[in-house]
Amino acid sequence: MPETVTAADLFSLKGQVAIVTGAASGIGRASAELLASAGATVIAASLPSDHPEVAAEEARLRGLDVESFACDVTDQKQLSALVKHALDRHGRIDTVFCNAGVALDTGPHTVGTDTELDLMFDIHVRSVIRLANLTLPVMADQGGGTFLIMSSLSGVRGNSFLGQYGVTKAANAQLARNLAVQWGAQNIRVNSLSPGVIATAFAEPITSNPDAAARRLAKTPMQRFGEPYHVAGAVVWLASKAGSFMSGQNIIIDGGTVISD
């Protein structure tokens, strides 16, 4: 007889320990809260200036097991301290969601600066490689785990405005494929997520500008913007047993924008 499973079994994260970076607001905060609501203990990391402790405290008041950790992901020592904190306090790491990000573009490549590109590369790519190198061996010793990387629709399509940002986000999707191949035999699943426009402070240059919003919605079959939980739901799925045969994929969550004519 086949194994009988329920949705509660498939999507439960009970006993998991998860790290989410860029977790003080937007998609990161929604993901930290939803992971916790599925049973995980979550370490919500963000820059000190983003006050991750505020978001964590609000989550705890709702009964969610979320703790904060102040961390600049571009600092190797702070990343190491984040991982050490998780292991010292909880003894394991099951899921990592590398969500920290910033868009610094102000126009096409001719006006982009090396400083902007270097910082976006540090945040989106180099820090993810470093965090992978710190956590994936731990997961391998435990028997497996999930590593998730925030990419973007900007890394899938050509961009007239977010070109340098898009280049680093395309690198995120390739990094997920590389890590999935390198660590798959250790039962580690690695995927990237590429949202379209999600209604967060990050996307306000589009969502709060009537002309920009109208142009984007005209190219989106669902004719609406996404909400943070649309991405957070995919994070929970990928971290759970339900997502345990998914690896090396770039999952696009965009209301159909990328396939629209």
Q: Which of 154, 165, 194, 240 is catalytic?
A: 165
Give catalytic status of residue 241 as yes or no. Answer: no
Beta carbons within 8 Å of 64's beta carbon, 6+ residues apart: 33, 36, 37, 42
Contacts 24+ apart (CB under 8 A), 101-110: 101/22, 101/150, 101/152, 101/202, 103/162, 103/165, 103/202, 104/164, 104/165, 105/161, 105/162, 105/163, 105/164, 105/165, 107/161, 108/160, 108/161, 108/163, 109/163, 109/164
Q: Which of 31, 151, 169, 192 is catalytic?
A: 169
Question: For residue 33, which of 251, 210, 235 has the smallest C-alpha distance?
Answer: 235
Q: Which residue has the tokens 């930290």?
A: 32
Q: Which of 31, 152, 192, 194 is catalytic?
A: 152
Q: Which residue has the tokens 């989550």?
A: 59
Give catalytic status of residue 229 as yes or no. Answer: no
Beta carbons within 8 Å of 17's beta carbon, 6+ residues apart: 40, 41, 42, 43, 86, 90, 91, 92, 93, 94, 95
Q: Which helix (H) or strand (E) holds 252?
A: strand 250-253
Active site residues: 152, 165, 169
